[in-house]
Structure 1
Amino acid sequence: MAKQDTSTTASPQRKGLRLPPETGIFVILALIMAGMEVLTGNFLTIGNISTLLVNTITIGLLAVSETFVLLIGGIDLSVGAIQALSGVTAAVVINHTPLGWPGAILGGILAGALIGFINGSITHYINVPAFITTFATLGVAASIPLIVTQANPIPIFSNTFNALGQGYVLKIIPIGVLVMLVVAAAAHVVLSRTAFGVKVYAVGGNRHSAWLAGVNIARIEILCFTLSGTIAGLAGVILAARLASGYPTAGSGASLFDGIASAVVGGVSLFGGSGSVAGALLGAIVIGTLTEGMDVLDLNTYWQPLVIGIVILLAVMLDTWKTGLLRTLMRRLRRA
């Protein structure tokens, strides 16, 4: 009998040993970094890693913002344009109002939050697909800065404001990187440790079941889009501080797709209901590492979108395969 008791008490301990779901993307990141080090011989230097992290700030924040929307089965195409709108808003506030740099930061973030709130409201109450809604607001948010500035950058001369994108803590850690990590940590806590986070996953997993369970779908959907816009607005403010200017064309390149790609590569499902902020942030670092590595290798810039595109395609294919497999297993379990 004693032997039986020992075995039964030992088995739960073996079951408790689980690897985090982000282990896979972490291993991929480590392999990519090791490969870049072998190819270049000087990739893993302190200076290069610091540059990599600084260049990843915008992508990382956009990956976090997209995570909220992707988890409920939506998508936000406006986050790149929000960067331009929030950056120009911050520049206008700091140059033409007495609110100074605090007002500039707040104004830029609120501009992004407003676009996010509009996205969520239209998507839910008018029942317009998120792809169409955010594509339309992308055009609006991209045009307003061009109209206001006549396509001319607005310089920002506040050293305090610019330190947000250019300064360092203890001359080691870039302030922008620290902000990105704090935002990611806060988002992780919200999604994994609060009732709101449970409802977000519930809505993304099965909207109808979540509604039957009493979840306020409208509140969750609008909040997720608003949070997406808010974080994208913060990314635009940090980018403006880094450039010391409100650029009306900021975010018009591949930053939108890099943000979505980072989240998907990091394991956030395009179908909603699964994924994590930690995975999305690791995905952003993977995209940033590939981009930085190709720059160090002096690879023709025309090749870079091709490589990133293949990575995105493979990630989406894997996500689709996993989702289809899961649905097949669920159907078989129900029949059984």
Structure 2
Amino acid sequence: ATLSAYRGLAFLIAPEGRPIGVLDQNFAWLGSGRILEGGGFPGIPVSLILLIIIAAIGHFVMSSTVFGRAVYSMGGNPAAARLAGINLNRMKFYIFTISGALAGLAGVLVTARTSSGQPASGTQGLELEAITAVFLGGAILAGGKGTIVGTMLAVVLLATLSNGMNLLGIPTFYQLVAKGFLLVVAVAIGQWRMARAEKTQARAAAATGS
């Protein structure tokens, strides 16, 4: 509901729904600038450095902190997490806050890269690509699984696939079909892994009981 509402609000804020130019060169550097450029070396994009930093922080938080373990336990078994003393409502608030902040940062980078604030930015199927990357990275619908490293590898895979199809001149609607198929495959693999894990646990419980 809020996705649709805020998408419409963006068009209301923009003058007659048209993009708003952003001509600040320092701001544009965040989206298209490079460092260590020169001597034949193309340089390293600033946006890539920000991605690596945020991914590294996310990996550390999810794998080495109490907060990260609480997120996994809440996703895997909310009832057990509540009994372990985890405040589920507070955790959900923190998770949505972090998600919103990162989405805001992504919006800033897109604006800096295009040098304009466009009300339609981020609406061209990026939600589908984000979900596909998460599931390809090992997350499952039941929760409690998935890693930052796996998600980053999935992002690289999707970017390579998209860039390759563009270079080959494949029409956009075929690309959408391919990405949708990838999402179906990713979800199917996640469900299969979950079913296999449940069977393994059932066999182990049966063996212990016997």
SS in 2 for 1:303: helix
Question: Cα distance, 1:332 vs. partner?
Answer: 3.1
Q: Does 1:334 align with 2:205?
A: yes
Q: 1:161: which partner in 2?
A: 27
Q: Deviations over 1:22-74 (max 9, x none)?
A: xxxxxxxxxxxxxxxxxxxxxxxxxxxxxxxxxxxxxxxxxxxxxxxxxxxxx
Q: 2:153: which partner in 1?
A: 282
How high is the TM-score relative to the length of structure 2? 0.92
Letter aligned with residue 183 of structure 2:
I
- Counterparts of 1:333 and 1:206 in 2: how far apart (Å)? 19
- Counterparts of 1:214 and 1:267 in 2: how far apart (Å)? 27
Letter aligned with residue 106 of structure 2:
A
Q: Does 1:311 align with 2:176?
A: no
SS in 2 for 1:302: helix
Q: Does 1:230 align with 2:95?
A: no
Structure 1 residues not aligned, in runs of 5+: 1-135
Question: Cα distance, 1:216 vs. partner?
Answer: 1.1
Question: Cα distance, 1:301 vs. partner?
Answer: 2.1
Q: Deviations over 1:136-160 (max 9, x none)?
A: 1101221111111131111111111
Of residues 223, 237, 250, the one that matches 2:121 is 250
SS in 2 for 1:263: helix
Of residues 16, 41, 45, the one that matches 1:174 is 45
- Counterparts of 2:179 and 2:35 in 1: how far apart (Å)? 32
Runs of 4+ in 1 over 6 A off after TM superposition: none
Q: Does 1:144 align with 2:9?
A: yes
Structure 2 residues not aligned, in runs of 5+: 38-42
How high is the TM-score relative to the length of structure 1? 0.58
- Counterparts of 2:20 and 2:96 in 1: how far apart (Å)? 28
Q: Does 1:240 align with 2:111?
A: yes
SS in 2 for 1:165: helix
Question: Cα distance, 1:312 vs. partner?
Answer: 1.2
Q: Deviations over 1:208-264 (max 9, x none)?
A: 011101111111111111111111110110000000011001011110100010111
Question: Cα distance, 1:205 vs. partner?
Answer: 1.2
Letter aligned with residue 20 of structure 2:
I
Q: 1:206: which partner in 2?
A: 77
Alignment RMSD (CA, Å) = 1.1
The 5 A counterparts of 1:1-336 are 136-149=1-14, 150-171=16-37, 172-335=43-206, 336=209
SS in 1 for 2:172: coil
Q: Deviations over 1:149-206 (max 9, x none)?
A: 1311111111111100010011200001111111111111111111100100110111
Q: 1:25: which partner in 2?
A: none
- Counterparts of 1:292 and 1:212 in 2: how far apart (Å)? 47
- Counterparts of 1:216 and 1:331 in 2: how far apart (Å)? 30
Structure number with the bigger relative contact order (C-alpha 8 A, sep ≥ 6) is 1
Question: Cα distance, 1:333 vs. partner?
Answer: 2.7
- Counterparts of 2:120 and 2:52 in 1: how far apart (Å)? 26
- Counterparts of 1:271 and 1:230 in 2: how far apart (Å)? 25
- Counterparts of 1:268 and 1:233 in 2: how far apart (Å)? 23
Q: 1:130: which partner in 2?
A: none
Letter aligned with residue 87 of structure 2:
N
- Counterparts of 1:196 and 1:268 in 2: how far apart (Å)? 18
- Counterparts of 2:28 and 2:7 in 1: how far apart (Å)? 23
Q: Deviations over 1:253-311 (max 9, x none)?
A: 11010001011111122221011011111111111111100111112222111111111
